[in-house]
Amino acid sequence: MAKSTRGYCKYCGKEYTRTGMLKHLQSCKKRMEVCENSKKMSAYYELMLYGTYNKDYWLIIQIKENATLECLDQFIRDIWVECCGHLSAFDIEGVRYEQIPDNDFLWGKPAEDMSHKLKEVLEVGMEIGYEYDFGSTTELTIKVVDFYKAPEQKENVTILSRNNPIQFTCSVCGKNPAVWIDPIKMYNEDPFWCEECLEKYENGELDEEIEVEESGYLLPVTNSPRMGVCGYEGSDFYPNQFEPDDM
């Protein structure tokens, strides 16, 4: 099995795996110092987000208790999933929260909208489902890890840690880092391309008979559970590499 991805702690810059980081954040000395030196405090939920089918992509954030589900949805879109404005939904304890609730239901409870504040719907220990795009769906799991008072930040969301970008190797030459992925071949063994091989391919200089699939398009390699899906080209707002405060 592949090694778990690692990420940096926002406060001290130490590197841990997803589960190691959760533990570390409870006792990070730098983080405690920051908390002690602050006058104005705010209440936050600490959330861990990860790809339901690929836990190598993960985020640990804190978000204000007064933020809405809509705000959390926007953050997830901005950093991880937005490609062409698809619909999305949260599933919290059997209730669906949608941007535009579809009340054309046959069974179960009617859907709610996303205007709810987090403090109205979240409790520590909960495991929440999130879906973006009901066609080529990206599914996330969100764990409500903790609830606490922390120094007031201007932004609703603060990233505490994020997995470092995964290095994929070009499937053609087998040596250069990949920068493109073939969305049609994504679930096969060899979807990755480096710039060099792509250039050779375009100039008809590749020795082997390899083709960019019929779709004829490639998508960039990104640090996201939506890499290679629909037209996903990465985040316009967040770089692939999360930088700690203290580097």
Q: Residues in the site for Zn ion, rule: CB under 5 A?
A: 9, 11-12, 28, 83-84, 170, 172-173, 176, 194, 197, 230-231
Question: Which residues, 6+ apart, have CB-to-CB distance to 127 below 8 Å?
Answer: 141, 142, 143, 144
Cβ distance to Zn ion smaller for residue 9 or 49: 9
| Cβ closest to Zn ion, residue 95 vs residue 230 | 230
- At closest approach, how far in Å is the CB of 50 from Zn ion? 20
For Zn ion, the closer CB: 76 or 122: 76
State the Cα–Cα distance between residues 94 and 167, nearest whole angstrom. 37
* Nearest C-alpha neighbor of 102 from the set 121, 117, 87, 116: 87
Closer residue to Zn ion, CB minimum distance, 121 or 191: 191
Residue with tokens 């861990």: 48
Closest distance to Zn ion from the beta carbon of 227 (Å):
13
Angstrom distance (rounded) from CA 224 to CA 56: 9
Q: Which of 199, 210, 200, 222 is nearest to 83 (CA)?
A: 222
- In the complex, minimum distance from the CB of residue 128 to Zn ion, in angstroms, rounded to a whole number: 23
What is the smallest separation between the CB atom of 218 and Zn ion, expressed in angstroms? 12
CB of 84 to Zn ion, least distance (A): 4
Q: Identify which of residues 47 and 67 has a Cβ nearer to Zn ion in the complex.
A: 47
Q: How far apart are CA 134 and CA 180, in angstroms?
A: 25
